[in-house]
Chains A and B, each alone.
Chain A
Amino acid sequence: MASTAMTSAGISSEAPRTDFGRVLEQRERRFAAALLAPAFLALLATTTFPLLFLVYTSAFRMDLAMPFTNGFVGLENYRVLLSDERFWSSLLVSLVYTGSTVALQVIIGLALALLVMDMKRGQGWFRVIAILPVVLSPAVVGMIWRTFMLAPEFGIVDFLAINAGLGSKNWLGDPTLAMVSVIAIHTWQWTPFAFMVLLASLASLPDDIYEAARLDRASAWQRFRRITLPLLRPAIVMVVIMRTMVALTAFAAIFTVTAGGPGTATEILNLYAYRKSFTELSIGYGSALAVALLIVTIVISGILFAMRRAK
């Protein structure tokens, strides 16, 4: 034994050690897998399975009002969907809602962050107050706006509009104003998130490059355009991605304020799928709508992530 070890020492002395290392590594990996398993199974059961079940359901006609017509229909739901005008209009509402709320959040959030950065005192207070809307439940926010802010004559917004000489408006009854209102509500609630992220990012930018830029004779606007914006780009893109995904699947705030109305003026795709499934009880078609929303979300976030990687 000893002699073989000696003769082969020069050639294969590494072999037993790597072997041992491999066993150890394997055992460690198995242990890690065991630790991971419960969480993994729970996730599988609560996210992956419902998702697959949704796709499965979308291939059926499942109408609780007319159960005798139920059965497998393949891609029939999707064919109907593509020629469903209400689907296209709700998709458009979704895109307008998402695009405008995200743009407003970034612009207002950035403006606030720039403003607060220059505050000598009270920054801490401002942050605490600003974060309040974020911690509220969207349903509560919706209720507050519908009653306290937008109610005709008694709501604060309407009161201000009357005093500004615009007259009382039907904020949630007029199709255009209703859309503006739900966009404003979402923006009001989530701008603080963009504000906090961008403020943190701004605070991490070094002072010296701004001093260098001043000496290089850049104006305040040029410093913003050429230095601040490019350096904030990763944070802005991150905010856009996160907020887009949430806005595309928004539900509670709109549901409590307008429930998609008047008519279908504020009916985003998510809400349409909900109405189809649980109001009209056409669960198969509702599932197809939900799958369509999923595809739209994946495509848009894919594009955003690709943009993030580019340059």
Chain B
Amino acid sequence: MSGQGQVSFRNIVKMHGEFAALKGVTFDIKPGEFFALLGPSGSGKSTTLRILAGLDAPTDGRVLIDDKDVTSTDARDRDIAMVFQSYALYPHMTVAENIAFPLEMAKLPKAEIAPAVKDAARKVKIDHLLDRKPGQLSGGQQQRCALARAIVRRARLFLLDEPLSNLDAKLRLETRAELKKLQRSLGVTAVYVTHDQEEAMTLADRMAVFMSGEIQQVGTPAEVFARPNSIDIAGFIGNPPMNLVPARYVDGDVIIAGHRLKTTTTTAGERDVVAGLRPGALRMTENGLGGRVDLIEDLGDTAVLDLDCAGTMIRVRVADGNIPGEGDMISITARPQDIHLFDPATRMRL
């Protein structure tokens, strides 16, 4: 029943009237991969998932699953399981009936359904709640019930639409770790939609970053973090996000707020650029880019400083041991390979 779970999107366009929700999206997902669709709300990631599920039809382009064109195949016939953001549990059925539903629809004999339901419920630790109705469950339990319903029938593709967004912070962290383990143990291809870059970074093998209906970058979380393709991605990934400051490039050097820093990026001549500096990649030094400490956010093990460098605001993450006082003048620097340069006109990486 289960295939490989390999997915290809070929130039998918989705129009809502005049508005283009997706402007030609192309990507590939390898079998067994945990693939995240990351982006701010309205960027097209949920639309992409719904098109993959077969719940919406694309205006143009092709969807392939295991090399078979499924663009016009109904959701029923795609062999895909999905966890909805709202969980979409059947309110009139018990937890057991909810989990059994996809198996009943697949016309599995009753004798096989009961143990399969028990097994799925045990995997997500709700086997003691089988007789309850969804209305009697907490948000976390409902979420687990939705998960169980999705894993019970071993579909070739496992879609998750912001499954953790309705949980409280502590539960979200717990469930996140369990989700990853679950996906590993099932060995199934998972496609995960989220607007939380931290979730994508921690869960995904690879991710596609969506910005206003387009994919701006596909890669492993480490790649995207290390080499963001555009100003938008640079500002979206990482917490606190990358400092993006106007600067001037002069053969091999970049001048930020009057201070000259070495960079590894080479581009032609002399030009205006946007320099990207990760707060964690900045270090305090004797003789560097000077600034006044405006605000300190102490996070316990580290602190984030808001630095006023001649009118330019730069955030710096420093370790616990050497936190300056508010109002102090300090100076910072960065290694040449940690300075990202972007074109202010195209907003792309140089």
Give the interface of A toward B (CB within 8 A): 206, 208-209, 211-219, 222, 226-227, 230-231
Contacts and interface: CB of A to CB of B under 8 A. Distances in A.
Interface stretch (B84-92, B265-273, B294-302, B330-338): B84-92
Contact of A215 (B53, B89, B91, B92): B53
11 contacts: A208-B84, A208-B88, A211-B75, A211-B84, A212-B89, A212-B149, A214-B54, A214-B74, A216-B102, A217-B76, A219-B76
A-B residue pairs, 3 tightest by C-beta: A208-B88, A212-B88, A216-B102
Interface in B52-103: 53-55, 74-78, 80-82, 84, 86, 88-92, 101-102
B304 to A, nearest CB: 39
Nearest to A229: B92
Contact of A206 (B88, B92, B102, B105): B88
A158 B88 CA distance: 51
Contact of B105 (A209, A211, A222, A230): A222
B345 interface: no
A218 B76 contact: yes
B101 A226 contact: yes
B106 interface: yes
A218 B105 contact: yes
B214 to A, nearest CB: 25
Given A212-B84, A226-B90, A231-B92, 8 more contacts: A212-B89, A215-B54, A216-B153, A217-B105, A217-B106, A218-B101, A219-B105, A231-B91
B146 to A, nearest CB: 8
Contacts of A214: 54-55, 74-76
A228 to B, nearest CB: 10
A226 B88 CA distance: 15
Given A215-B75, A216-B105, A222-B105, A209 B80 contact: no
B76 A206 contact: no
A101 B35 CA distance: 57
Nearest to B101: A216
Nearest to A210: B88
Nearest to A214: B75
Interface of B: 53-55, 74-78, 80-82, 84, 86, 88-92, 101-102, 105-106, 149, 153
A133 to B, nearest CB: 32
Nearest to B82: A215
Nearest to B81: A215
Given A216-B101, A216-B105, A217-B76, A209 B90 contact: yes
A231 B55 CA distance: 22
Contacts of A231: 91-92
A224 B55 CA distance: 18
Nearest to A219: B76
B86 A208 contact: yes
B102 A217 contact: yes
A209 B153 CA distance: 18
A106 B306 CA distance: 68
A209 B102 contact: no
A25 to B, nearest CB: 35
B88 A209 contact: yes
A226 B105 CA distance: 10
Contacts of A227: 90, 92
A168 B238 CA distance: 83
A60 to B, nearest CB: 53
A206 B84 CA distance: 13
Nearest to A208: B88
Contacts of B102: 216-217
A206 B153 CA distance: 24
B80 to A, nearest CB: 6
A230 to B, nearest CB: 5
A230 B101 CA distance: 14
A69 B81 CA distance: 81
B93 to A, nearest CB: 8
B248 to A, nearest CB: 52
A215 B86 contact: no
A46 B131 CA distance: 50
Contacts of A222: 105
A227 B86 CA distance: 17
A214 B55 CA distance: 8
Nearest to A207: B88
Contacts of A213: 90, 101
Nearest to A211: B55
Which residue among A216, A219, A226, A230 has the maximum number of chain B CB atoms within 10 Å of its CB? A216
A206 to B, nearest CB: 7
Contacts of B77: 217
Contacts of B106: 217
A267 to B, nearest CB: 42
A222 B106 CA distance: 12
